[in-house]
Amino acid sequence: MILQTPKSTRVHYVNSQNDEHQSGTFNFGLVATYQLENLATVITWLIDFLNRKKLVYNLNQLLEDTLLNIVVPGRFEKISQQPVIILDGGHNPDGIQAFVKTVNTLYPDSEKLIINGFLKDKSYESSVKELISLKNASFIITEPDNKQRELPPQQLSDVYVKLTKQTYQSFDSPTDAIQYAVSHATANTIIFVIGSFYLLNPIRAYLLSRSDHHEH
């Protein structure tokens, strides 16, 4: 059983191996649905390792102490609380689909402002089709910081116009895009930055340089 909230994921696990049955509940600090996929493998490996080493342990406490405050940069990472800003490195249709699923699970009715930019060698039109399925979402278009592979904002804007019949604000600079988003966010707005790490990195560096925004 898994209960997800925007702050943490409450996980109930059951493990049966070597005629032993173990179960428990702990809080997991990563909230994206795709981050749960490998968790069962990690828990199974850990229990097997501890048992083989004949170590005495409180598994619930060990898991929570280890995993409650874990942060993976750029993987549905909440980097700012006011306004809420979340960075995610999904940059292909599968990654975008996983991102959309997580956002729909955790923030189904929230106002969403999404900064988006792709590399030109990715399936960006299919990714945009996934993104525009989000409810209550508007978009800011920019480009990754990679001169050789970046998809120009105008070209990405054309895809949004084609699929939504709407024109969205666009910027050549990811830093200009996040500054615009922050200045136009309301108290109820959640800002998402989704795309290549070439997009996330300059935005992440800018936000961290302003002050210690990271949520611990």
pLDDT in tens, 99-115: 999 999 999 999 999 99
Helix (H) or strand (E) holding 12: strand 9-17
pTM of the model: 0.79
Name the pLDDT band for 216 (thresholds 50, 70, 90). Answer: very low
Name the pLDDT band for 213 (thresholds 50, 70, 90). Answer: very low
The CATH code for residues 77-210 is 3.90.190.20
Name the pLDDT band for 5 (thresholds 50, 70, 90). Answer: low
Q: What is the structure's pLDDT at 71? A: 78
Better-scored residue on pLDDT, 207 or 58: 207
Q: What is the structure's pLDDT at 20? A: 63
Q: How do the domains of the chain map onto residue ranges?
A: 2-67, 77-210
Q: Is the pLDDT of residue 117 over 90?
A: yes
Helix axes 93-106 and 124-131, enclosed angle (nearest 10): 10
Poorest-pLDDT segment among 7-16, 35-44, 79-88, 95-104: 7-16
* DSSP H helical ranges for 39-166: 39-52, 59-67, 93-106, 124-131, 153-164
Better-scored residue on pLDDT, 113 or 47: 113
Better-scored residue on pLDDT, 51 or 166: 166
Q: Is the pLDDT of residue 17 over 70?
A: no
The fraction of the chain above a pLDDT of 70, given in percent, is 89
What is the CB neighbour count within 10 angstroms for residue 32?
23
Residue-wise pLDDT for 149-158, tens only, equals 999 999 999 9
Counting Cα atoms < 13 Å in the Cβ hemisphere of 142 gives: 28
